[in-house]
């Protein structure tokens, strides 16, 4: 048994203490369901807290490192074991506590920093992520480099003390709201495309950076195109080795894919219940037989997928290798999510077509948003390519 | 419970894997078919399977079994699926034993469980009467009442019926033909007067029979479970059979998929390995995901049966429905990707497609279980 594993008794003590602390410290407003965008706290220099409760909740949780329960204490994390982190999640769920901080620093950059960053970078950046002081964005895709990400052209030229960055990125999530960017740049212009890429971090307030929001089919503008015009990036902001950024990029994409793939399994009202409400039962069955059959097929696949996510986690805990799992989960999870949205629209009928750009309950924007799930973080087709190559070992793939 | 196999289960599976590949491979099924073998399986190999703990996989140790539960039975079934092994495991070790465990009297357990675990007794479930699976639609009648029951009716798709020593017959002691109430289970000696068994060859070269019953006399001691309340036992027996069939279908899907991958890596057309073609790669990658899903639901379902979870039936629907569907797709894709050679009898891949069809049909196919899944969820 690893030293990390706590005995059942210790875990129960931890559970009791955690519950008591949450009850005493989580403001009542932070135990209400999230109903609008401002309810999700992203942090950052320019973040406007919706209310005092949101600020207090973030500060209290950050002080214990519980915005990132499993990160090491020395960088401001909670230092909890997997089991303790699970208990914390369960207790937060029990009290309906909101997640105090959501950010790409937590879900994407942090894990990569912990693995590939140097000591100085970790000490500089991780605590600010933990406390929600710096909001990060991701500079990966470019107008000419989507699925073929490694063909990216944004240049970082070596100018002695700094890199000079020129080029542009696209699909930068919240690029106009972020404080810093982690960015893939080309540092070797003659090497094979994957081998000339480096991973750099820089301040979005640096001179020469501009952003332009992109309006999507859903009506929202969560993405920007981001332009770099002679941006000076200090050499010490290179993460990992020069020209070895692709390794970090792939590692980070794995995290992103797990996150996107897992979205389909978040607790949602079963389609069958929506359908019973909208269509009604006849002799105990949904009154529309053909739609019922599709709903049943979806619900079965969704349950099978949830069980598979659980099995993958169990296998990982048992130390078993389950290769290219993130591609499988990303592919299947996002396709399921799209199926669910299509069925939800059919179930709602004309009600589902309502679209004024403001009403939170409208499902049309959600339906439209799901279409991106199988594109962002590597398209479904790219995931299938990865499975064919890395798992099935098919030739020339 | 963790969805990972324990050390003991892994050892049991590895032993099963070796044994099935060596002693009961596809070649044996092919030979039994070509020889028009009267039994349809090798009694000698079945004895060896009994020694491996297969025949008594569900039988508790106090009755001479291995006590490996449904997870254990599923591990064996998966290897049977991979090798298309000819064996009465499903009929006898799963359906028969589950009926006795759930409804059998102490005397019945004493009399039959050790014999089954030893590989000396073959039991068959004679229940279905319709072409489409409808478990409670039973017209076979048990008349005469307690003490002097007489069975009359006709049963179809009785697995291993023509080689069975005993039949477990479902008959109506009361109620309408479609009613879940009023069903009773009887143990019937196949040699009893009025029992007429006809072997019905099937496309997958597995054993099935039609059973004709005419005023077959049975006594109260032959009743399994409670008179009129047999559906409780029958449903449990069928769910066990469905879950184990799902495991077998997983094995069928896995094996035909792996054989197909091997072919994609070797076969050349247009001057290239056909596995380099993206249209085939994507179909194979998608199939990989579907098979992984089946692996999860099968293990979870078998665990739920072992733990006798109250909602195990929902999972059984998921497992049998999904496994039937995915095995059908996997074997169809296998034949298609093998091209012309996949259509030949000489090549084994067709055997897998035939088995996927038959096992998928048995005790409810995808459509049956999707419907039941929805019903159990209240829609």
Per-residue model confidence as pLDDT tens digits over A191-230: 998 999 999 999 999 999 999 999 999 888 889 999 999 9
pLDDT at B149 (0 to 100): 96
Interface contact flag, A295 B374, Cβ < 8 Å: yes
Question: What share of chain A has pLDDT > 90, as a percent?
Answer: 80
d(CA A343, CA B375): 19
| Sign of the alpha-carbon dihedral angle for A250, A251, A254, A256 | negative
Instruction: Choose between A345 and A35: higher pLDDT.
Output: A345
Other Cβ atoms closer than 10 A to A2:
6
User: Options 1.10.3470, 2.40.10, 2.60.40, 1.10.540; which CATH number does A8-102 get?
Assistant: 1.10.540
> From chain B, which residues contact A within 8 Å (Cβ)?
2-4, 261, 264-265, 272-273, 275-276, 278, 281-282, 284-286, 288-289, 292-297, 299-300, 317-318, 321-322, 370-371, 373-375, 377-379
- Whether pLDDT at A321 is above 70: no
| Cβ neighbours of residue B351 closer than 8 Å, sequence gap 6 or more | B26, B29, B30, B84, B204, B205
A201-207: long-range contacts, CB 8 A cutoff, minimum separation 24:
A201/A121, A201/A125, A201/A237, A201/A239, A202/A165, A202/A231, A202/A233, A202/A234, A202/A237, A203/A179, A204/A137, A204/A175, A204/A178, A204/A179, A204/A180, A205/A179, A206/A231, A206/A232, A206/A233, A207/A231, A207/A232
Write the CA distances from A390 to A14, A71, A247, A324, B108, integer angstroms.
Answer: 41, 30, 16, 7, 54
Distance to chain A for B113, nearest Cα, Å: 34
**Is it true that domain B124-229 has CATH number 3.40.30.10?**
no
pLDDT at A266 (0 to 100): 58
Confidence of residue A328 (pLDDT cuts 50, 70, 90): very high
pLDDT average, residue stretch B340-359: 97
pLDDT average, residue stretch B335-362: 97
Fold classified for A136-243: Butyryl-CoA Dehydrogenase, subunit A; domain 2 (2.40.110)
pLDDT average, residue stretch A122-130: 98
pLDDT at A284 (0 to 100): 95
- Whether pLDDT at B346 is above 60: yes
The torsion angle over the Cα atoms of residues B329, B334, B339 and B344, rounded to 10 degrees, is: -110
pLDDT at A1 (0 to 100): 38
Please, where in chain A does CATH 2.40.110.10 lie? 136-243
pLDDT at A2 (0 to 100): 42
Please, where in chain A does CATH 1.10.540 lie? 8-102
> With contacts defined as CB-CB under 8 Å, which chain B residues touch A387?
285, 288-289
Instruction: Choose between A251 and B99: higher pLDDT.
Output: B99
pLDDT at A221 (0 to 100): 85
Please, where in chain A does CATH 1.20.140.10 lie? 248-391
| Cβ neighbours of residue A369 closer than 8 Å, sequence gap 6 or more | A216, A218, A220
Per-residue model confidence as pLDDT tens digits over B186-210: 999 999 999 999 999 999 999 999 9
| Cβ neighbours of residue A276 closer than 8 Å, sequence gap 6 or more | A286, B378, B379
d(CA A166, CA A155): 5
Per-residue model confidence as pLDDT tens digits over B54-88: 999 999 999 999 999 999 999 999 999 999 999 99
CATH superfamily of A248-391: Butyryl-CoA Dehydrogenase, subunit A, domain 3 (1.20.140.10)
Lowest mean pLDDT among A22-31, A267-276, B92-101, B228-237: A267-276
Q: Does residue A34 belong to the interface with chain B, where contact is any CB pair within 8 Å?
A: no
Mean pLDDT taken over chain A: 92
Lowest mean pLDDT among A114-123, A246-255, A280-289, B96-105: A246-255
- Whether pLDDT at A259 is above 80: no
User: Is there a common fold for B7-121 and B124-229?
Assistant: no
The domain locations on chain B are 7-121, 124-229, 232-376
Locate tokens 């087709």: which residue?
A381
Write the CA distances from A204 to A13, A44, A183, B147, B179, integer angstroms.
Answer: 44, 12, 11, 90, 72
* B74 contacts B299 by C-beta, under 8 angstroms: yes
- Nearest CB among A305, A308, A388 relative to B284 is that of A388
| Sign of the alpha-carbon dihedral angle for B215, B221, B223, B226 | positive
CATH of domain B232-376: 1.20.140.10
- Whether pLDDT at A17 is above 50: yes
In a mutagenesis test of the B interface, which of A292, A303, A389 is the best target, namely the one with the most B β-carbons within 10 Å? Answer: A303
d(CA B239, CA B247): 12
Q: Does residue A284 belong to the interface with chain B, where contact is any CB pair within 8 Å?
A: yes
In a mutagenesis test of the A interface, which of B10, B296, B372 is the best target, namely the one with the most A β-carbons within 10 Å? Answer: B296
- Whether pLDDT at A322 is above 80: no
Per-residue model confidence as pLDDT tens digits over A261-305: 666 555 678 999 999 999 999 999 999 999 999 999 999 999 999
Interface contact flag, A304 B318, Cβ < 8 Å: yes
Strands B166-172 and B123-126: parallel
Fold classified for B7-121: Butyryl-Coa Dehydrogenase, subunit A; domain 1 (1.10.540)
């Amino acid at each position: 048994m690893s030293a990390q594993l706590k005995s059942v008794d210790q875990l129960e003590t931890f559970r009791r203490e955690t519950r008591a602390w949450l009850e005493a410290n989580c403001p009542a407003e932070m135990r209400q369901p999230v109903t609008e965008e401002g309810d999700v706290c992203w942090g950052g220099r320019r973040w406007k807290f919706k209310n005092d409760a949101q600020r207090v909740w973030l500060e209290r949780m950050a002080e214990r490192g519980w915005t990132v329960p499993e990160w090491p204490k020395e960088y401001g994390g909670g230092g909890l074991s997997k089991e303790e982190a699970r208990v914390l999640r369960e207790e937060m769920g029990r009290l309906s506590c909101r997640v105090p901080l959501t950010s790409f620093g937590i879900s994407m950059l942090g894990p990569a920093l912990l693995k590939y960053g140097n000591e100085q970078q970790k000490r500089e950046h991780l605590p600010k992520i933990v406390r929600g002081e710096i909001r990060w964005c991701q500079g990966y895709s470019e107008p000419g480099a989507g699925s073929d990400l490694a063909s990216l052209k944004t240049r970082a030229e070596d100018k002695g003390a700094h890199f000079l960055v020129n080029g542009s990125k696209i699909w930068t999530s919240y690029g106009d709201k972020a404080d810093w960017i982690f960015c893939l740049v080309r540092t070797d212009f003659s090497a094979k495309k994957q081998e000339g890429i480096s991973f750099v971090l820089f301040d979005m307030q640096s001179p020469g950076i501009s952003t332009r929001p992109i309006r999507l089919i859903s009506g929202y503008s969560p993405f920007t195109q981001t332009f770099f015009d002679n941006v000076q990036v200090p050499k010490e902001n290179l993460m990992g080795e020069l020209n070895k950024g692709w390794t970090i990029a792939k590692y980070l994409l794995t995290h992103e894919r797990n996150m996107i793939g897992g979205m389909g399994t978040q607790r949602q009202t079963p389609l069958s219940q929506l359908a019973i409400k909208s269509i009604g039962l006849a002799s105990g069955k949904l009154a529309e037989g053909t739609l019922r059959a599709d709903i049943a097929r979806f619900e079965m696949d969704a349950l099978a997928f949830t069980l598979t996510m659980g099995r993958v986690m169990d296998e990982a805990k048992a130390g078993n290798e389950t290769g290219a799992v993130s591609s499988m989960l990303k592919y299947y999870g996002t396709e399921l999510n799209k199926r669910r949205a299509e069925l939800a629209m059919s179930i709602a009928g004309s009600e589902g077509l309502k679209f004024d750009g403001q009403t939170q309950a409208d499902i049309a924007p959600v339906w439209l948003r799901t279409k991106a799930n199988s594109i962002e973080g590597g398209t479904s087709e790219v995931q299938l390519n990865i499975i064919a190559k890395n798992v099935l070992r098919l030739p020339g793939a | 419970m963790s969805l990972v196999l324990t050390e003991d289960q892994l050892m049991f599976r590895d032993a099963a894997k070796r044994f099935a590949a060596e002693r009961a491979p596809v070649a044996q099924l092919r030979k039994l078919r070509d020889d028009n073998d009267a039994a349809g399986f090798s009694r000698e190999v079945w004895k060896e399977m009994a020694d491996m703990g297969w025949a008594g996989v569900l039988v508790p140790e106090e009755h001479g079994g291995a006590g490996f539960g449904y997870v254990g039975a599923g591990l064996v079934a998966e290897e049977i699926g991979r090798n298309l092994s000819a064996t009465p495991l499903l009929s006898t070790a799963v359906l028969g034993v589950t009926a006795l465990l759930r409804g059998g009297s102490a005397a019945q357990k004493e009399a039959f469980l050790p014999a089954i675990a030893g590989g000396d007794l073959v039991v068959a479930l004679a229940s279905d009467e319709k072409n489409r699976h409808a478990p409670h639609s039973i017209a076979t009648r048990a008349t005469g009442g307690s003490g002097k029951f007489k069975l009359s009716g006709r049963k179809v798709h009785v697995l291993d019926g023509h080689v069975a020593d005993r039949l477990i017959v479902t008959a109506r002691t009361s109620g309408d033909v479609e009613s879940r109430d009023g069903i009773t289970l009887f143990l019937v000696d196949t040699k009893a007067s009025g029992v007429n068994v006809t072997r019905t060859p099937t496309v997958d070269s597995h054993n099935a029979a039609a059973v004709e019953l005419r005023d077959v006399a049975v006594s109260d001691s032959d009743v399994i479970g409670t008179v009129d309340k047999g559906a409780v036992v029958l449903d449990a027996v069928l769910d066990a059979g469905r879950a184990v069939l799902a495991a077998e279908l997983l094995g069928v899907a896995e094996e035909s998929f792996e054989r197909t991958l091997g072919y994609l890596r070797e076969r050349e057309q247009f001057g290239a390995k056909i596995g380099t073609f993206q249209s085939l790669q994507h179909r194979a990658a998608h199939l990989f995901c579907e098979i992984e899903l089946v692996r999860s639901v099968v293990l979870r379902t078998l665990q739920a049966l072992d733990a006798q979870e109250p909602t195990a039936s929902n999972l059984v629907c998921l497992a049998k429905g999904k496994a039937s569907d995915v095995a059908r797709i996997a074997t169809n894709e296998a034949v298609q990707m093998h091209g012309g050679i996949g259509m030949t009898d000489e090549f084994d891949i067709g055997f897998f497609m035939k088995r996927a069809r038959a096992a998928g049909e048995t005790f409810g196919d995808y459509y049956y279980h999707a419907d039941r899944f929805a019903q159990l969820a209240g829609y």
